[in-house]
Amino acid sequence: MAKATVGAVGLRLLLLLPLLGEAPLGLYFSRDAYWEKLYVDQPAGMPLLYVHALQDVPGEVPSFRLGQHLYGVYRTRLHENDWIRIQEDTGLLYLNQSLDHSSWEKLSIRNGGFPLLTVYLQVFLSPASLRESECQWPGCARVYFSFINASFPACGALKPRDLCFEASLSFRIRENRPPGTFHQFRLLPVQFLCPNVSVAYSLLGGESQPFRCAADSLEVSTRWALDREQREKYELVAACTVRVGAREEEVMVPFPVTVYDEDDCAPTFLGGIDTASAVVEFKRKEIGKVCVENCQEFSGIHVQYKLQLSNANCSAGIVTSAEDTTGTLFVNDTEALQRSECAQLEYKVVAVDRLTRRQTQASLLVTVEGTYVAEEPGCPLSCAVSKRQPECEECGGLGSLNGRCEWRQGDGKGITRNFSTCSPSIKTCPDGHCDAVESKDAHICPQDCLRGGSIIGGHEPGERRGIKAGFGICNCFPEEKKCFCEPEDNQDPLCDELCRTVIAAAVLFSFIVSVLLSTFCIHRYHKNAHKPPIASAEMTFRRPAQAFPVSYSSSGARRPSLDSMENPVSVDAFKIPEDPKWEFPRKNLVLGKTLGEGEFGKVVKATAFRLKGKAGYTTVAVKMLKENASPSELRDLLSEFNLLKQVNHPQVIKLYGACSQDGPLLLIVEYAKYGSLRGFLRESRKAGPGYVGSGGSRHSSYLDNPEERALTMGDLISFAWQISRGMQYLAEMKLVHRDLAARNVLVAEGRRMKISDFGLSRDVYEEDSYVKRSKGRIPVKWMAIESLFDHIYTTQSDVWSFGVLLWEIVTLGGNPYPGIPPERLFNLLKTGYRMERPDNCSEEMYSLMLQCWKQEPDKRPVFADISKDLDKMMVKSRDYLDLAASTPSDSLLYDDGLSEEETPLVDCNNAPLPRTLPSTWIENKLYGRISHAFTRF
């Protein structure tokens, strides 16, 4: 048979589409796929999951049946289902017998030797099981199991996500159908094997929607019939709270529900037909696939395609695929295509429904381009005959796309699907599937279509025909119905004598160099063992942790206790008790650049070597005092150290350790990649949506990362929600923060909020945020009324500060009470003045701010209620925040305002005070002292 090369073929389709019949309706699954994990040696009788069916008409009662076989990759039938059973009336799948290691290995080998064994079962909604090859939603669903060759892990080692939800949640519900239950929260294996793990669920956003979640059974159901014309998709959120001992974590995942259309407004065509045209180009001898509109979505409709020839001398053919509802157009006679009258071919394709015999037609115009390539003498008809790459690529074969066969190089790893072979097109042959064109002639792709023959050598046969996996090179002889899979026996040596000599010399030279380098490094290590490690080139010019400006006496003289700190003695004169649990070797800490700096202290970026037993270097932040710090500031830092030892929450900055001996006190805390929330918000305000920054700002690194998207209003609400959760934890720990503000919240990787307090360096961020006192500043604009006038600090005063923090978040780092100096703010707040609602702030968010600013502390909400309110706002928020529009025109909003010298001091009666008046009057008379970041009450 001669062969030809067909170039780009223009295919013009004119489709005449009548309305075809509908698929049968009835009970249907709410999902087309379910997911679960199975471990070896799990006990028989263990419940796995529920499948749910919804009614098409009232009164229908579902009956569930399981398919008889387990299927693996490429829909390969692996084994009869001996392990899983189902309760026909409830839809509960449970383990019938335990899966042991030998069963797992048997299934894994049949599945192609993949280390992760994923199989699936088919569940039918029918009194009797349908044919397994006809499993399609809505009357059939697949249940996927990941068989893991290990025992069930310890409950405490599981991630919260694995304790709450399966791999994917997505639901389909038909419109205008009776309401019913379509899902049940709770992973049954976790409940069965981990009885000490407490898991609570809630459906966020479902209260005002047609969905509800029963508190006792955790069943999710519809309240009333859905209407697609009103809404096509519901984007809900499922929340899960996990409690393991004293640890509590919350996980949230999407919970989408799609409403499927009922043809209650069926389309109509003028005259019963509609016309559409398209131009499609193909570069293969199989010209292309044709199908009636939406043919891939048909269920229960069988379509057959026929080709009506307008010119019998110019021949093409069409075949109908048995697996789908498409017809494949292919070249039937290459010699006929050489004729000049065949340069343009016109055909009509007729699609016929086998059951109803209803038809539709398409007019095809095929333009043939390219040159004829004659058959090469001495070349086989089938590409699969060739066993070597050179002879494969020198010849053409039946079905080759460009007149030459193609060589597929395998990976050479035992019996594998990616074996080496010669093919007319490696895109379609071999792919483990004998399609409609390949089945027309055994010479096209015997690797996929060989039937009734023999395969010699290492291989794994296909389910019905062909080679599923092979060893080495596989070549076939279609006339003899034989294939061979074996390694090439006359391969050229990979390395000759000269090559081996060079390699041996290189190995010997490398060994000698390695010995010399090892000896040198060991010598240097012992010589410089007392010196701190150098982490990387980045730290070449950094100071080791000992090189700190505070003078320190290394003498072993007895030092005064902490109780005498009020005495005018230098800071280094005090001996700090050592805590072995938190003490970190000072020589393993290398200090870097300064992150924040105040009057008496600063925070620097540093690198810790072998932190908490972790190999290598860890980036951390280090808090320390300056050399002019007083004993009072040291006491503040020690208090913060002792309190941070007691807290452990994802939204609170984590303490790693401290260097308290043989030098100044250094607190080692978690490093936040993006700095303070205030700087983070201001950078996003400057950037605008989709901007990728390139400046050198301290907080601009998040803009250099293309993975960081523009902020949305949902992001801002999420920031507030995270902070409220952290404050809720501190309130439960009986801790009062006393300085909650955006400058004291850090942004870690993944936009995770971390409540912190750069208490010793806070005045670096705001010029008018604090009223100056003799030994520091007071955050007037964030303080509650009772704190300002009666110096009372409680959790409810933190709630007031949280309201101001909300205002900062919504205005993207705006300065509270813009244009109002702190000394005027006292009387304004007493008269009931509160900040106005920002332009881009919702009424709901502003209402929450006003509740936080109630004058009576007991009328303000607690942090637990604030978290719930923000929870609801997160579900409702969907639109992108217009960063440019949300930048107020008033420059005072982002101006740090008056300097200390320009700010007049006033007493409570608003009478001016002389600038020479000692500021201790404000400290002692009005405010008292903020001694440290957190205060226990």
Q: Is 502 exposed, middle or buried (0-12, 13-18, 19+ CB in 10 A)?
A: exposed
Measured CA angle at 586 (ends 580, 588), to 5 deg? 105
Examine residue 549 and say whether the peptide bond preceding it is cis (omega within 30 degrees of 0): no
Token digits of residue 490: 């006359």
The amino acid sitting at 5 is: T
Give the separation between CA 78 and CA 103, rounded to whole angstroms: 11
Helices (H), 234-374: none
Q: Are 770 and 777 in contact (CB under 8 A)?
A: yes
Tell me the Ramachandran region of residue 819: left when phi exceeds 0, alpha when psi lies from -120 to 50, beta otherwise.
left
Please write down the long-range contacts of 125-130, taking CB distance under 8 Å and 24 or more positions apart.
Answer: 125/26, 125/27, 125/28, 125/29, 125/53, 125/62, 125/63, 125/64, 125/65, 126/63, 126/65, 127/63, 127/65, 128/65, 129/65, 129/66, 129/67, 129/68
Residue 355 has a CB neighbour count (10 Å cut-off) of 11
* Cα end-to-end distance, the chain, whole Å: 94
Please name which of 292, 332, 338 lies closest in space to residue 309, comparing C-alpha atoms.
332
Beta bridge partners of 470: 416, 459
Q: Are 169 and 254 in contact (CB under 8 A)?
A: yes
SS3 273: coil
Backbone φ and ψ of 915, nearest 5°: -65, -20
SS3 714: helix
Give the separation between CA 6 and CA 331, rounded to whole angstroms: 9
Q: Are 767 and 599 in contact (CB under 8 A)?
A: no
**For 853, what's the count of Cα atoms within 13 Å in the CB-facing half-sphere?**
21
Give the separation between CA 731 and CA 865, rounded to whole angstroms: 13
Helices (H), 537-587: none
Beta bridge partners of 655: 669
- Annotated binding-site residue? 623: yes
Considering 431, 739, 768, 871, which one is annotated as catalytic? 739
Residues 6+ apart with CB under 8 A from 398: 1, 3, 381, 382, 383, 424, 441, 443, 444
Beta bridge partners of 143: 34, 121
Determine whether 739 is an active site residue.
Answer: yes
Measured CA angle at 124 (ends 139, 142), to 5 deg? 85
Residues 6+ apart with CB under 8 A from 703: 683, 684, 687, 691, 692, 693, 694
Token digits of residue 32: 């087309």
Binding residues: 623
Q: Which residues are catalytically annotated?
A: 739
Binding residues for ATP: 623
